[in-house]
Structure 1
Amino acid sequence: MTPEELSSTIVDVLTALVAQGAVTLPDGAPTTVTVERPRQKGHGDYATNVALQLSKKAGMNPREFAGLLAAGLEASAGIAAVEIAGPGFLNITVEAGAQGAVAGQIVAAGAAYGETATLAGQRINVEFISANPTGPLHLGHTRWAVLGDAIGRVLAAAGAEVTREFYINDRGVQMNKFAASIIAAALGEPTPEDGYAGAYIDDLAKAVEAASPGIFDLPADERVIAVRAKGYEIQLQEQQEQLAGFNTHFDVWFSELSLHEEGQETGGVPNTLVRLKDLGHVYEEGGALWMRTTDFGDDKDRVLIKSDGELTYFASDTAYYLNKRARGFDHCIYLLGADHHGYVGRLKAMAACVGDDPAQTLDVLIGQLVKILRDGEELKLSKRAGTIVTLNELAEEIGVDALRYSLARYPADSPLVLDVAEITKASNDNPVYYVQYAHARTCRMKANAADLGMSIDAARVAFDPALLDHERDGDLVRALAEYPRVVAAAAELREPHRVARYLEDTASVFNRWYDTKECRMLPQGDEPVRPANLARLVLVEATQTVIANGLGLLGVSAPERM
């Protein structure tokens, strides 16, 4: 019996009590009831405080209300016992068969186990990397590459229609500096002031020449335009390949420059300015055009067009938000770095200025910095880029799985220091190793079972959930049953670290089960294969399914061997 099924059973009992006139609830029985796993052993399998919540509405003493509910639950299928505790808490013990049936449900669902419809019907845009196409992605992008991707995965698992979007900062003077740096490298000249340096620029100059022979012989003005375009194309492709190798995938690569192109009808800057003027939220002062964001809680109004006629980044930000809304997204999620903390208020005010309720259409998540230590020293310099540590270098040194998991298991707003030696060691002290090893153990157990002629298909046919009657069996089944609720919470709160921490706890429960001799899956010595062995094979398959599904939400592999 899953928590959701138990909640439904409690609702049915409440509904029956109301229909019988035993309980009077002005608003009728609730549609859902919260049930939780007790923290202390001996308090049943699940607990609920619904009697305390509803007794006042019913005009009854909480324990009296709880007594009626307990009697109805004890008569329900799958409930072994109900205890009234304290002022009216209900501690519920589920029959072994009803509890064990969850293992069969997990195996039947397979890769779909954990998916819910809690966010069904919502179209959500997750923008989680905004980078200049002027160099390789680096440590500063790595945390968002993991968290943004994982947030997209948990949102999709909760039923939302998700678009993962990369915002390309391809407008501005940095693109001309980029072109000038490539040209200088190709001609053997010094790097221009405020230009881009590093071995990657030399490599890029060679790649541009190889892709467009003679490009550096063009007249100066033509050369800048041509090199800028080709260098942009090559560098952007490299960023895309970097992220693909890091198991991070985007549905849309959106060009900032496109917002300023003529004929842009879905949220371009010119149309945005017209719309803001029509809504009455802009004004002119000092030769500049301002948005009156202080009307909606911002600490100061924001400039859209400077006195010299130059458009600000905030003008692009506003147009980009409207572009997303015009594409049909109900909700826009932004993942920004620690240095963008001031953007929270201005983006919410901006959404309000264009007529939206930011509480309904906008989330801004601020991430803190990450430091990577090697031998006690912070990694700061790159062999290739000169001044940054690239994503590729980190992935090569640490490994994609170890790096992704280590970044995903912490909330975005917590500063993070990771030690290379700690997150790469093959030890149970290393969380990613601990969880992956639990998965590999289930694979080995299934292989050993197959050697004895025990197939999962036959085990499913013969599965008797009532045979999962040991205390450790119940602990493991209940842990596995929690997975859908964890995924739903991770999606609702935009906190994929909840999945990682759940996997670690569940791996621990599984290992305790594995070490309990009364729960052995394989027959010992010359013992025949008994129904209990097959039941526990199903439980192992269910455990493998949950761990693999959870690791998949984090973009981490589930190895069969370690």
Structure 2
Amino acid sequence: MTPAALADLVRSSAVQVLSARGLDHAALPDQVTIERPRNPEHGDYATNLALQVAKKVGLAPREFAEALAEELSLAGELAAAEVAGPGFLNLRLAADAQGDLVSRVLSAGDAYGTGDVLTGRKINLEFVSANPTGPIHLGGTRWAAVGDALGRILAAQGAEVTREYYVNDAGAQIDRFAESLIAAAKGEAAPEDGYAGAYISDIAAQVLRREPSALSLDGAERHRIFRAAGMELMLEEIKKSMHEFRTDFDVYFHESSLHDRGAVASVIEDLKRNDSLYEADGAWWLRTTAHGDDKDRVVIKGDGVPAYIAADIAYLKDKIDRGFGLCFYMLGADHHGYIVRLKAAAAAIGSDPAVVEVLIGQMVNLISDGKPVRMSKRAGTVITMEDLVEAVGVDAARYELSRYSVDSTLDIDLDLLRKHSNDNPVFYVQYAHARLASLQRNAADLGITATGAPELALLTHPREGDLIRTIGEFPSVLTKAAELREPHRVARYLEGLAAAYHKFYDAARVLPQGDEEATPLTHARLALCEAARQVLANGLRLLGVSAPERM
């Protein structure tokens, strides 16, 4: 029985208790809180429902708890329901109910943990969106791991998720990128405000291989060729890096397309007509202060040129026109101001500002030998995705970047992530999965094969109960991770599951030794171990991390 199923049972029992007394049950919460007691001797689960609502329904908390315990004692899923203190209720699952959970996991397989709370929601998830002027840096790498994991988690709750990369190819930074390529092609130093690094020389050489006469052309045409070809080559490298990092996008949306097809000009005219823009000091302004901004923002500058926010508004409108009911923007630490601006943009085009959700990610630092790592081999100035992957591998990089809340600065200890020890979180979780897979292989080598349904009611050891209850928490962990947009909850859960398994394995022997014969308990424990392996595999897959069967 999962905690969610137990919560439903407690609520339905509470409805019965109140109805039998002629009391209104409207005060009951839609979702009853079920928790694991800190002291296992107090039971498998506990609820404070009686304390929470007793006064609202006209009962003393302990009186309500006692009546609820009596009602729950009629349920076959529970071995005991005991009142504690002023009205807490401690619950112990029946052995059959615990075994039923193992069967559910084995039956569901890869689908165990998935839900349908987001079924029917069409979500646009835009993340990374780094300027196509250089390799993906560490901040973008964090979003690549977290954004992709979030997309997997939202999809696991039934959402239709589109992963989108916004290519900023219409700004002055692309012109500076082109001029930097031209300088490198000439063997000159990069312009003062340009881009440097070995990758610039690499791309410049590739442009010349495509267009051998590019440097002999007049200034404007030379700039056009280096700009177009250079950006195309850089974007190809970004896509390749992302794919190797197991992050693939459904859409690469080019900012320039909004200007080329008149979408920016069109949305500006619409905003002028509906009075969302006002004119002052020769410019056109969006009323962002109405949504908490410290000042209104210029959309059309005094020279008639659209400000950057104009394309943002057109882009958001394009997303909404494509049918997305929720649009995520995953931005860097210096983009807090964009939250109110994007919500103001949504209101200006006639949409609910709630259609916009902005997640802000903090900085990432690499530590090696106790010191910060500051220089990239290829980019020269910033540490890149390739640097991190080369140092620790894709699995360790993705897992480490996903196991912390994005609103906290992250220091990655490269030395720790290279270790094959339990101090390394990704190794700890993957090793648990490999150990479980090895257990099934060893059972097969011993000729132990399933003969009918295992007697799962035999799983009564305290460590078996701990492991089963931890397995049962997986669906609610995924629901909460999707609700709060926090993939790190999955990583932390997997570490707890791995710990529960290791403790179980140390306390309860699974396979027979020597001349011993396999018993019904052997088969029950093997089924429990397979359920644990399945959940570890499911969780790692949602983080985009492999689940090795041998290590």
Same fold (TM over 0.5): yes
Mapped pair 1:393 → 2:384: no
1:16 aligned residue? 16
Q: 1:325-377: CA deviations, max 9, x gaps?
A: 1111111111111111222232233323333332x312211111111012233
1:140 aligned residue? 139
Distance 1:41 1:326, change over 3 A: same
Per-residue deviation at 1:32? Answer: 4.1
Counterpart selection for 1:487 from 470, 478, 484: 478
Q: How does 1:453-532 map to 2 (within 5 A)?
A: 453-455=447-449, 458=450, 461-516=452-507, 519-532=508-521
**1:478 counterpart letter in structure 2:** R
1:153 and 1:482 mapped to 2: Cα distance?
Answer: 18
1:185 and 1:280 mapped to 2: Cα distance?
Answer: 48
1:4 aligned residue? 4
1:452 aligned residue? 446
> What percent of counterpart residues are identical?
54
2:61 and 2:11 mapped to 1: Cα distance?
Answer: 17
1:244 and 1:92 mapped to 2: Cα distance?
Answer: 47
Per-residue deviation at 1:395? Answer: 0.6
1:29 and 1:51 mapped to 2: Cα distance?
Answer: 10
Per-residue deviation at 1:541? Answer: 0.7
Distance 1:78 1:253, change over 3 A: same
**2:10 counterpart letter in structure 1:** I
Q: Which range moves more in the overlay, 175-184 or 66-75? A: 175-184
Mapped pair 1:437 → 2:436: no
2:467 and 2:389 mapped to 1: Cα distance?
Answer: 34
1:324 and 1:84 mapped to 2: Cα distance?
Answer: 53
2:190 and 2:453 mapped to 1: Cα distance?
Answer: 73
2:80 aligned residue? 81
Per-residue deviation at 1:210? Answer: 2.6
Q: 1:73-110: CA deviations, max 9, x gaps?
A: 11111211110112212111111121122111111111
Q: 1:242-294: CA deviations, max 9, x gaps?
A: 0111111211111111111135xxxx212221222233221111111111111
1:128 and 1:337 mapped to 2: Cα distance?
Answer: 10
Per-residue deviation at 1:213? Answer: 4.2
TM-score by length of 2: 0.96
Mapped pair 1:542 → 2:541: no
2:45 aligned residue? 46
1:538 and 1:97 mapped to 2: Cα distance?
Answer: 14
1:535 and 1:347 mapped to 2: Cα distance?
Answer: 54
1:248 aligned residue? 247
SS at match of 2:127: strand
Per-residue deviation at 1:509? Answer: 0.8
**2:472 counterpart letter in structure 1:** A
1:321 aligned residue? 316
2:196 aligned residue? 197
**2:474 counterpart letter in structure 1:** Y
1:474 and 1:24 mapped to 2: Cα distance?
Answer: 36
**1:283 counterpart letter in structure 2:** Y
1:368 and 1:140 mapped to 2: Cα distance?
Answer: 8
SS at match of 1:64: helix
Runs of 5+ in structure 2 lacking a partner?
A: none
Per-residue deviation at 1:28? Answer: 8.1
1:32 and 1:505 mapped to 2: Cα distance?
Answer: 24
Q: Which range moves more in the overlay, 487-496 or 112-121? A: 112-121
SS at match of 2:460: coil
1:428 aligned residue? 422
SS at match of 1:462: coil
Q: Is the 8 A contact 2:365 2:412 kept in 1?
A: yes
Q: What is the count of residue pairs matched by the alignment? A: 551
TM-score by length of 1: 0.94
Q: Is the 8 A contact 1:98 1:465 kept in 2?
A: no
1:188 aligned residue? 187
Per-residue deviation at 1:450? Answer: 0.8
2:179 and 2:477 mapped to 1: Cα distance?
Answer: 51
Q: Is the 8 A contact 2:27 2:57 kept in 1?
A: no
SS at match of 2:327: strand
1:553 aligned residue? 542
Per-residue deviation at 1:484? Answer: 0.6
SS at match of 1:355: coil
Q: How does 1:50-449 map to 2 (within 5 A)?
A: 50-263=49-262, 268-358=263-353, 360-449=354-443
Per-residue deviation at 1:18? Answer: 4.7
SS at match of 2:522: helix
Per-residue deviation at 1:29? Answer: 6.4
Q: Which range moves more in the overlay, 219-228 or 416-425? A: 219-228
Runs of 5+ in structure 1 lacking a partner?
A: none
